[in-house]
Amino acid sequence: MNNQYYLETSNDGKNIIRVVSEDKKVYIGSKYSVERDINKFTGDLGSINGNTIILVFGLGTGEHIRELLKNVMDSNKVIVIEPSLEIANLFSNIENSKYIISDKRVKMFVYDKKNIEKNLNSSIESCEIDNVKFISFANYSSIFEGEFKQLSTYLRKVIQNKRIGRDTINFFSQILFQNFIRNMKQCARCGVINSYKNLFQGKPAVIVSAGPSLEKNIHLLKDVQDKFIIICGARTLKALKNADITPDFVCAVDPQDITYTIMKHNLDNTVPLVFMDSANYKIVQEYKGNKIMFSNEGMETYVESITGKKVDSLLQGGSVAHVCMGLAIYLGCNPVIFIGQDLAYTGDKFHALSAKAMENPGDVAVTYLEQHKDLWLESEKSIYVKDINGEMVRTSIPLNSYREEFEELMEKCIGITFINSTEGGAHIKGTQVIPLKASIDKYGVEEISKNISFQDTIKKETVENNLKIVKNNLIDIKEACEKGIEYAEMMYMYYIHKKGININKVFSSLDEIDSKINDIQKIGIIAYLLAPYVDKVLNDEKYAEKLNELEYDSGKRMAEKSKSLYECISKAVEEALKYID
């Protein structure tokens, strides 16, 4: 769009921008009354509280942003997305722009399709997603219709992914922490992923997943398994074994007992098990082969604080297949070839038959649905995406989000060739679609030396001693929380009676307590347990800052919020200590 932009003055004396395109001119907003546009903008925004995140499409001359900032609170965030670099430059030359630019509540971005999702992700926290208000100024959404639609799509995607991640952590918080601590206690018998970095530099890898198309070509790996690094998850371990194929690594990520049920008949396997720190502890405990640990993203520091070793994380997403790909990349493999990675209901199937575990109630249920498609169609909300042949194929929202995660991860992996040799399913952008036979002919040219040495690099004594330190730190935090509750109650009483309490001393004591509790090295270890409690408090509207709030009301609200947070942390610490003991 070759537009030209000019800064003018509206009839009511405010700055306004005129857009000229192909001899047509249009104003952003009303030439006659910018004030009317501003009033409509603030009116459409509706009521807000201190937790509200306001995402504005359109910076213009910033007149509406200046007015908005007069009516929001210190705790609000205002994110402004401007689709035109030229308009952003015009704005920066306006005298009053400096007040908006310097306001700590404001973040501004020029729309860039490559970076917009990243910018949204970095600007909106998981605990804030239920409080986002998205609004377009004046006629921005029609002048920049394409950018507006794209931004709306990206925003929905970011919120959806953050909600899935948040809800997963909240739902599985106790299971994740229980697994984490149990795995730490038994990790002295395990290796760490760092010992295997770039071990198979430049060697081809095959990721074997459990999609419906797996049976079409899994057999082709049997005679060439010595020429590829074969990586799978728990579900496809049995399928490979039945095809007389031995993988080089099996990955375990899921914290639930369902994964244990799927894998329990293969726990005597000697294939190295690569497991996440919070993977199901029963699998790690009972697996007979060598075990190699990697950290969940964000938990590296805490794993190191217990094991005394740096333990890297792998590229990961919502499924074990993402971790399998992450492992291949960490090992230095190139190219990375996928089979069974349908990410769709190819042939109206959920999984490959060979990858089902019929003792698992979930697999029994999906098999029943596959056999009774009328029930499936009624019960399952589906979407359609392009398959590897350009036709439409049925998938689900979770499977499609996995596909999108693959595409995002692949885009970051410069220099690595990704090949989709799945004979069916959704197309994954960033992959070359090549039949497995052709991939084998091209890349299976030489045997790979697979002498994988294994060392127990983590010392039992180190783990035991460090867990004692963790325990003592948590006890200190619990004691600090108990004091914090007392001071928060004193703070509340001060704002009720306004006498008899040295409020400055209370504030000073609370600051000291917060400093102790907010020591991320000490408190972060219980992040899994803490997340759902803190999330609940932070999203509780009664604790949100109110517009034009009186000191009396603000003080009471902050006291109640502080008390609730101390109680939440104390409860999480209590739970953590049970598992550590």
Tens digits of per-residue pLDDT, 234-249? 989 989 999 999 999 9
The arithmetic mean of pLDDT across residues 38-52, rounded, is: 91
User: What is the model's pLDDT at position 351?
Assistant: 62
Distances (CA, A) of 288 to 187, 265, 270, 279: 14, 12, 6, 16
Q: Quote the DSSP letter at residue 388.
A: T
- C-alpha 34/C-alpha 137 separation (Å) is 11
Q: Tokens for 508?
A: 């000073």
Distances (CA, A) of 153 to 135, 140, 161, 224: 14, 16, 12, 43
Q: Within the chain, what is the greatest distance between any pair of CA atoms?
A: 85
Element (H, E) at 203: none
Confidence of residue 264 (pLDDT cuts 50, 70, 90): confident
291 beta partners: 273
Q: How many degrees, rounded to 5, is the angle at CA 143 between CA 138 and CA 148? A: 85
User: What is the model's pLDDT at position 169?
Assistant: 82
Confidence of residue 358 (pLDDT cuts 50, 70, 90): very low
**Per-residue DSSP letters for 359-374?**
TSHHHHHHHHHHH-HH
Query: Using an 8 Å Cβ cutoff, are 339 and 355 in contact?
Result: no
Percent above pLDDT 70 for the chain: 94
User: What is the model's pLDDT at position 359?
Assistant: 53
User: What is the model's pLDDT at position 443?
Assistant: 97
Confidence of residue 531 (pLDDT cuts 50, 70, 90): confident
CB atoms within 10 A of CB 94: 14
Which of 525, 528, 520, 524 shows the shortest CA–CA distance to 170? 528
Q: Does residue 557 surpass a pLDDT of 80?
A: yes
User: What is the model's pLDDT at position 347?
Assistant: 81
Q: Does residue 365 surpass a pLDDT of 50?
A: no
